[in-house]
A and B are shown apart, each in its own frame.
Chain A
Amino acid sequence: MKIKLQQIAHARSGDKGAHSNAGLLFTSPEIYAWAKTNLTSQLIKNHFKSIAKGDIIRYEMDNLLALNFILGDSLGGGGSESLINDAQGKTHGQALLLLEVDFPDELLQFVKEN
């Protein structure tokens, strides 16, 4: 079924020079395993195409059940020279949670109810 990442993940973002990072934290190993296979850099690049002008780098953190994405050139230049409202990428984590994905029904049982 179609879901948004906000239903299965937590996110936090911040700045890294001219880039931002957006990390995704999952609450079950089963969902993390699905995410590792399915949340590719290409998928994230497409989602952020109106924000990130540069490359997407993906890092895996098996110990935390987390993925970390570097969103290249996403801050209007970055630092104090940037003119944009969110010059530090504080909101990019929330933007990531809006990504709609095809999620397997059999994994729904692992989604933590809030």
Chain B
Amino acid sequence: MKRIVRIGNGQGFWGDSIDAPVHLAKGGPLDYLTLDYLAEVTLSIMQRQKLKNPQAGYARDFLDMVKRILPEITEKGIKVITNAGGVNPQSCREKLIELAAASGKNIKIGVIQGDDIFPDLKALIGKGIDFKNIDTGESIDSIIDKVYSANVYINSFTIAEALEQGAQIVLAGRVSDPGLALGPCIYEYGWKETDFNLLASGTLAGHITECGAQCTGGNYSDWKSVPYLAGVGYPIIEMQADGQFCITKHKGTGGLVNRETVGEQILYEMGDPAHYISPDVCVDFTSFNLTDKEKNRVSVENVKGFEATDTYKVSISYFAGYKASGQLTISGPDALEKAKLTAQIIWERLSKAGYTFEDTSTEFLGVSSCHGEINAQPEQINEVVLRLGVRDQNKDKVNRFGKEIAPVITSGPPGVTGFSGGRPKAQEIVAYWPALIPKEFVHTTVDVL
């Protein structure tokens, strides 16, 4: 058993830095690299890619990344835990094996399945699972014919099982984001399903690192004190068998790790801190101690957890209509007054043409779009960006809105510019529907090739 296991997270979300994982793998000691490629609606995009092409449906960026760190995986022995397999981990694995073979390398890849319940959704409803929206209480009947994808947040013991079978890369399906880090801890230390405090420690560690540089100085209130954000180091968990762990980053990297950078991240997307529910355990975020150790090293001790719930969360995505937004820059004397008039003109022209929408928005960027009326209005506004948006089930109506932005440049008040990139086009809205499923209905499988 290793005394300390080092787990770095190089990808906080779909679209995060493509270089960060490489820097983590090459920049210092590391045992595991976790990579989160999924947001709540990413799986729906992948599900539709797969409908068009049975070989698609996973994060293609991941293949390019593996190419760059192949020596670290095959020679240094760094293991990669990721949800990049999306809804087609089998195809993703085939491609990975091909690209490794092209470099003369053999690589063992684990695939975890059972999280994708989209094909079984109606059968499961037939068995009495209501999949009602846990935020709003609504019945799934209203969206059942518009569903794009349905994936269960499965537990992390599946990752440990894949590692046990020798996987060097684990394509983990829709495990929880913190679960990507918890899985290797379960494997390394043999933690059991009833080791609630230990599972809570691993889950908290994964929560801290799941958004990448957001715990190492990114998005930090005291940003003026953070050195060299351009070269920010992504976070590393140094876990011990007893569940105590440190958060740190590679030496020589930018950013900052201290009680406040880590503490802020612990608060990110937090609900009731005493009941943080994961598929593996419930974590009490009011329990532990967070202490500055040496420079850029924070320790976490005494995390308390208790038994997980008897349900898993299900992430369902569905078609919810169309939206579009467009913007104009309004400058010069009385910029805000002119922006208000510009908005009024556009909405009135649409109304006169017979168009109304399910929802609209009018925002004044530079004045009040983020913080409403919290700030007093400045006496002089040099320029303001007017941002208008509409949402509707009818695509043609949304596209008609897009045609009403440009005309006001020559038929409205003076000093209006910044219209580039063409007319805003209707974009499909893929919405998120969170639900629950009793654990006994979910059957996960692990295979390693």
User: Is A41 interfacial (CB-CB < 8 Å)?
Assistant: no
| A86-B369 contact in complex given A11-B264, A12-B219, A23-B270, C-beta closer than 8 Å | yes
Tell me the bound Cα distance from A6 to B225 in angstroms.
Answer: 14
CB pair A15 B269 closer than 8 Å: yes
Give the nearest-CB partner of B41 in chain A.
Answer: A80
User: Is B272 interfacial (CB-CB < 8 Å)?
Assistant: yes
CB pair B434 A25 closer than 8 Å: no
User: Is B310 interfacial (CB-CB < 8 Å)?
Assistant: no
User: Is B363 interfacial (CB-CB < 8 Å)?
Assistant: yes
User: Is B15 interfacial (CB-CB < 8 Å)?
Assistant: no
| A27-B260 contact in complex given A80-B429, A91-B371, C-beta closer than 8 Å | yes
CB pair A23 B432 closer than 8 Å: no
Give the nearest-CB partner of A84 in chain B.
Answer: B361
CB pair B375 A80 closer than 8 Å: no
User: Is B102 interfacial (CB-CB < 8 Å)?
Assistant: no
Interface 1/0 per residue, B363-387 and A, CB below 8 Å: 1010001111111000000000001
User: Is A63 interfacial (CB-CB < 8 Å)?
Assistant: yes
Complex contacts, A109 vs chain B, CB 8 Å: none
Complex contacts, B41 vs chain A, CB 8 Å: 80
Interface 1/0 per residue, B27-47 and A, CB below 8 Å: 000000000000011000000
B361 to chain A, nearest CB (A): 4
Interface residues of B in 346-374 (CB under 8 A from A): 359-361, 363, 365, 369-374
Interface pick from B51-59, B77-85, B284-292: B284-292
- Chain B residue total in the interface (Cβ 8 A): 53
**Dominant secondary structure of chain A at its interface with chain B:** mixed
Give the most central of A12, A18, A66: most B CB within 10 Å: A12
B200 to chain A, nearest CB (A): 13
CB pair A59 B273 closer than 8 Å: yes
User: Is A61 interfacial (CB-CB < 8 Å)?
Assistant: yes
Give the nearest-CB partner of B365 in chain A.
Answer: A85
Pick from B265, B361, B375, B387: contact of A98, CB under 8 Å? B375
CB pair A84 B286 closer than 8 Å: no
CB pair B221 A97 closer than 8 Å: yes
Give the nearest-CB partner of A76 in chain B.
Answer: B361
Interface 1/0 per residue, B216-229 and A, CB below 8 Å: 00011110110000
| A84-B263 contact in complex given A18-B135, A114-B224, C-beta closer than 8 Å | no
Complex contacts, A97 vs chain B, CB 8 Å: 221
Interface 1/0 per residue, B281-304 and A, CB below 8 Å: 000011111100000000000000
| A83-B135 contact in complex given A23-B267, A23-B268, A51-B371, C-beta closer than 8 Å | no
Complex contacts, B372 vs chain A, CB 8 Å: 48, 50-51, 95
User: Is B308 interfacial (CB-CB < 8 Å)?
Assistant: no
A32 to chain B, nearest CB (A): 12
B314 to chain A, nearest CB (A): 15
CB pair A10 B264 closer than 8 Å: yes
Pick from A66, A76, A79, A98: contact of B263, CB under 8 Å? A66
User: Is A29 interfacial (CB-CB < 8 Å)?
Assistant: no
CB pair B270 A80 closer than 8 Å: no
Tell me the bound Cα distance from A27 to B219 in angstroms.
Answer: 18
Tell me the bound Cα distance from A112 to B363 in angstroms.
Answer: 36
Interface residues of A in 12-48 (CB under 8 A from B): 12-18, 21, 23-25, 27, 47-48
CB pair B264 A23 closer than 8 Å: yes
CB pair A11 B288 closer than 8 Å: no
User: Is B389 interfacial (CB-CB < 8 Å)?
Assistant: yes
Pick from A9, A17, A27: contact of B434, CB under 8 Å? A17
User: Is B170 interfacial (CB-CB < 8 Å)?
Assistant: no
Complex contacts, B432 vs chain A, CB 8 Å: 79-80
User: Is B390 interfacial (CB-CB < 8 Å)?
Assistant: yes
Interface 1/0 per residue, A68-91 and B, CB below 8 Å: 101000001101110111100011
Complex contacts, B371 vs chain A, CB 8 Å: 51, 91, 94-95, 98
User: Is A62 interfacial (CB-CB < 8 Å)?
Assistant: yes
A/B interface sample: 10 pairs, CB < 8 A: A23-B267, A59-B273, A68-B267, A80-B41, A80-B429, A80-B431, A81-B431, A83-B359, A95-B374, A98-B371
Top 3 closest pairs, chain A to chain B, by CB: A23-B267, A50-B372, A83-B389
Q: What residues make up the interface of A, taking CB atoms closer than 8 Å to B?
A: 6, 9-18, 21, 23-25, 27, 47-51, 59-64, 66, 68, 70, 76-77, 79-81, 83-86, 90-91, 93-95, 97-98, 114
